[in-house]
Amino acid sequence: MLQTSICSQSQKDTFVADHCTKQEFIAVLKKSDCLLDDKHFDMQKYALFYCKQDVIVLQKCVQKFAQLLKNKGCFDKSRFPLFRKSKRA
- 31-50 pLDDT, tens digit per residue, is 999 999 888 889 899 999 99
Name the residue among 32, 48, 36 with its Cα closest to residue 7.
36
- In this prediction the pTM is 0.59
What pLDDT shows up at residue 89?
47
Name the residue among 14, 16, 19 with its Cα closest to residue 5.
16
Q: What is the mean pLDDT of residues 15-41?
A: 81
Q: Name the average pLDDT for the chain.
A: 76
Name the residue among 1, 13, 84 with its Cα closest to residue 42.
1
Name the residue among 51, 52, 66, 56 with its Cα closest to residue 86.
56
